[in-house]
Amino acid sequence: MAIFEVEKMKTKTISINDIEKNWYITDAEGRTLGRLASGIAQILRGKHKPNFSPNMDMGDCVVVINAEKIRVSGKKEFDKSYFRHSGYPGGVKVTDFQQMRRSHPERIIVNAVKGMLPHNRLGRQMLKHLRVYAGAEHPHAAQTPKVLDI
């Protein structure tokens, strides 16, 4: 006979039907890019939920407004650049931060968050729950998003 009685604990797994998606909104005006992106990535992954499971898309949807007013620290305003490749020889395209801010300010936040999510099918699925807008207007008022302070 054992001296200690060990109670068997069971690991509870969550099913797809149990996942509840909430909507959050955050304002990027005057916020630092990396700090904002890491907070958004955690919400998209669902790490803030007590029943987090790394193999499921259980995160919430996030709306970001005022993406054109994002702040970066140090010399990144002048030195940061974004690389793309078309897949053809000589197809490298380089865009600096200031040009990206003028032409596609949403991509600045999307690229930063994308780098903080898993680099697989699940990460691509999570990234679809991110909506970024350059100005203060957004079409998601019907979802009644909660204000997110990251």
- Residues 62-73: pLDDT tens digits? 999 999 999 999
Per-residue pLDDT at 145: 97
CA distance 55 to 90: 38
- Domain extent for 141: 20-73+109-147
Judge whether 51 lies within some domain. Answer: yes
CATH number for the domain that contains residue 120: 3.90.1180.10
The number of folded domains in the chain is 1
Could you give the C-alpha distances from 138 to 55, 61, 77, 119, in angstroms and in order? Answer: 31, 14, 26, 28
Judge whether 142 lies within some domain. Answer: yes
Per-residue pLDDT at 1: 56
Strand partners, 23: 61
Q: What is the mean pLDDT of the chain?
A: 94
- pLDDT averages per 10-residue partition of the chain, 150 residues: 73 87 97 98 96 93 98 97 97 97 97 98 98 97 95
CA distance 145 to 23: 5
- Residues 129-148: pLDDT tens digits? 999 999 999 999 999 999 99
